[in-house]
Chains A and B, each alone.
Chain A
Amino acid sequence: MTGRIDAVPSPATAHRPGSAPSRSGPLPRPRPRLLTGMLIVLGLLASGCGPASSTSLAAEGLPRQSDGWHGIQLEIERTLPDVTLLTTDDEPFILAEELRGDPTLLFFGYTSCPDICPVHLAAIASAMNTAGISYDDLDVVFVSVDPERDDPERIDEYLSNFSSRMTGLHEQLPIVADALSQLDLPGPVVEGPDPRGEGDLIGHPAQVIGFDANGEAQRVWPFGARRSDWVNDLPRIVEEWS
């Protein structure tokens, strides 16, 4: 697991995510005890093995909140970070200003991420399609935490696997780390080599943060959010946060 899940500034931390021979003569009796014994041994061996992974993620998706949402409400006030990042055209992008006016889903990740990033982005893109939500009504923003490998072309190419309407942003690591710290999220950390042999894995916040049209953070969706969760929440975001 490359994303740190315990960096959510809210109760979200709790949500980790026929030609037989003829019959002849009396035959010796079989040994049913041997067979039974073998089965018992197999069963015991199996029961002695726990899950092959220590990671425990809930495949059931996010639990439905009392207010009907699946995303988790933030208990502390946070706004869009006051930083200037770069678009994939290398144009300046003042986060706090550019994203006001429409609700926003903000996610920090990197294009070599093997698990959390593609799962989150694919779920959002698919749910947007299923729920009939337009990218004109909801901004989906991906900020790279891996400026060394994620050049603009690579970010564009990466996002096109999900939706070319998603916004990709990048900047030097200190600026990205500043944006994260303004949201009380830890900066990216190198976690070690990628088992696929594709450089290093980078630890980063694993949740998607939802901002309303005024740039105020409202809810988070930790890793484990499924398409069904998004299909439930996306229409509410557009309706209630615009």
Chain B
Amino acid sequence: MNVAWWCSSTPGQIWTWRYTPFIGVWIVAASLIGGYVAAHRRAGQPLDRVLFRRWCLGVLALFVVSEWPIGQLGVGYMATIGIGRYVVYTFVAAPLLVSGIPTWLVDRWFPIGSKRGQVLSSVTRWPFALLVFNAVLFGTHIPWIVDTLKVTQLGSFGVDVLHLGAALIWWWPAIRREPERGAIQEPIRAFYLFTSSVLMFVPAAFLTFSPLPLYGLYELAPPLWLGFDPTSDQQAAGIVMNVVGGFVLWGIIAGLFLTWSRQQQNADEITRKARDARTLARMKVMSDAEAGEAHDGPGTVGGLVDGGAVPVRDD
């Protein structure tokens, strides 16, 4: 059986459906799950089912797109699957991993005030995170970088680590809700995510509208089937980056706006009820006053109301 450390482009190698395990992928996945469970045991904390499920799903997403066959097809044969891997790393695995870490574990690994805590606060500050994410997005899709790094297992591993690392940093301020760690509020969060979705159109547009294949490793790879066209594959890759990446991001942005609007609606409802209560109170006072006038005779109602004796403000 063929065994390798990590998926990489293997120029000239004919694709076959013969299983090739990537040991590095198994080790990383086992380390992530094992480390998570061990950290809980060491701290004497019970596993939170919801958080653990998220963490495991994140690891599973990483595993599926890094192991054979998707990992190999994506790195060496089809740009569409290559971009699909990036989308899963960035928009599926990373947010699941970030949202799967309990607050106590963050506090333990990155205590507030400690050097590590300061580093975490610095790299996850939203302008910096936005910069890092987009620098990695643009940098790792430059043809020369792709054609140079993805033909070695180390290079390919490095690119995957960069993608995951940048995505974790980028999702952190958008997902983590600890105020003491600089959690960003809804309007900025939506802007933050929206900006990234717009910037993503740039590399996606290059892929979609380039008349020639940009990446030599996909263009010169043995085709998976006769008539396989690397230019069409690249256009499909651009569409995957735009549509799938965009859909996920815009779905999250839409969710944020819905939550925000619901909160605003609730706040408006509370205000309206308070105003109604005040109006009722004023009407009651007026009605009582009219009743009093009828009982005591004219001359007192206007004085009571106009003189501001009724402590009601209609603002």
| A→B interface (CB under 8 Å) | 1, 17-24, 27-30, 32, 35, 38, 42, 45-53, 55-61, 114-115, 118-119, 122-123, 126, 130, 158, 161-162, 194-196, 223-224, 226-228, 231
Question: Which of B12, B99, B217, B219 is in CB contact (< 8 Å) with A123?
Answer: B219
CA distance A47 to B303 in the complex (A): 91
Which of A42, A50, A55, A224 is B152 in contact with, Cβ under 8 Å? A50
Cβ contact within 8 Å between B226 and A161: yes
CB contact between A227 and one of B13, B109, B219, B222 (< 8 Å): that residue: B219
How far, in whole Å, are A47 and B151 apart by their CA atoms in the complex? Answer: 13
Residue of B nearest to A227 (CB): B212
Contacting pair A46 B28 (CB below 8 A): no
Identify which of residues 85-107 in chain B touch chain A, using a CB-to-CB cut-off of 8 Å.
99, 102-105, 107
Evaluate contact between A51 and B152: CB separation under 8 angstroms. yes
B12 in contact with A53 (CB, 8 Å): yes
- Verify A226–B108 contact, CB threshold 8 A: no
**Cβ distance B183 to chain A, nearest Cβ, rounded Å:** 10
- 7 closest Cβ contacts across the A-B interface? A59-B216, A20-B103, A53-B10, A115-B222, A20-B102, A59-B147, A55-B12
Interfacial chain B residues near A55, Cβ < 8 Å: 10-13
Write the chain A residue with the least CB distance to B232. Answer: A126
Q: Once the chains bind, are B212 and A49 in contact (CB under 8 Å)?
A: no
**Interchain Cβ contacts under 8 Å between A and B, 15 examples:** A1-B12, A17-B220, A21-B102, A21-B104, A28-B42, A49-B4, A50-B153, A51-B8, A55-B12, A55-B13, A58-B216, A118-B228, A158-B226, A195-B18, A227-B231
By size class, the interface of chain B is 35 or more
B198: chain A residues within 8 A (beta carbon):
none
Chain A residue with Cβ nearest B222:
A115
Instruction: List the A side residues contacting B154 at CB < 8 Å.
Output: 46-47, 49
CA distance A194 to B13 in the complex (A): 11
B179–chain A nearest beta-carbon distance, Å? 12
Prevailing SS type, chain A contact patch: loop
Name the distance in Å between B88's Cβ and chain A's nearest Cβ: 21
Tell me if A59 and B229 are in contact (CB < 8 A). no
* A57:B213 contact, CB within 8 angstroms: no
Q: Can you name the residue of chain A whose Cβ is closest to the Cβ of B109?
A: A30
Instruction: Please name all residues of chain B whose beta carbon is closer than 8 Å to the beta carbon of A227 when the two chains form the complex.
Output: 212-213, 219, 231
User: Chain B residues near A122 (CB, 8 Å)?
Assistant: 223, 227-230
Quick one: closest A residue to B211, CB to CB? A130
Residues of B within 8 Å of A60, CB to CB, are 144, 147, 216
CA distance A119 to B220 in the complex (A): 6
Residues of chain B with a CB closer than 8 A to A130's CB: 211-212
Cross-chain contact of B220 among A49, A114, A224 (Cβ < 8 A): A224
Q: Please tell me if the beta carbons of A27 and B153 are within 8 angstroms of each other in the complex.
A: no
Beta-carbon nearest neighbor of B31 in chain A: A38
User: A122 CA to B217 CA in the complex, in Å?
Assistant: 15
| Contact present for A226 and B226 (CB under 8 Å) | no
Question: Is B1 in contact with chain A by the CB < 8 A criterion?
Answer: no
Q: Is B194 an interface residue (CB 8 A)?
A: no
| B residues 204-254 touching A (CB-CB < 8 Å) | 211-213, 215-217, 219-223, 226-231
Which B164-178 residues have a C-beta within 8 angstroms of A?
Answer: 177
A198 CB to closest chain B CB, in angstroms? 10
Which residues does chain A contribute within 8 Å of B31, judged by CB atoms? 38
Complex CA distance for A194 and B223, rounded to whole angstroms: 15
A223 to B220, CA, bound (A): 9
A49:B6 contact, CB within 8 angstroms: yes
B8 near A118 (CB under 8 angstroms)? no
Establish whether residues B153 and A19, one from each chain, have CB atoms under 8 Å apart when the complex forms.
Answer: no
Inter-subunit contact B5/A20 (CB<8 Å):
no
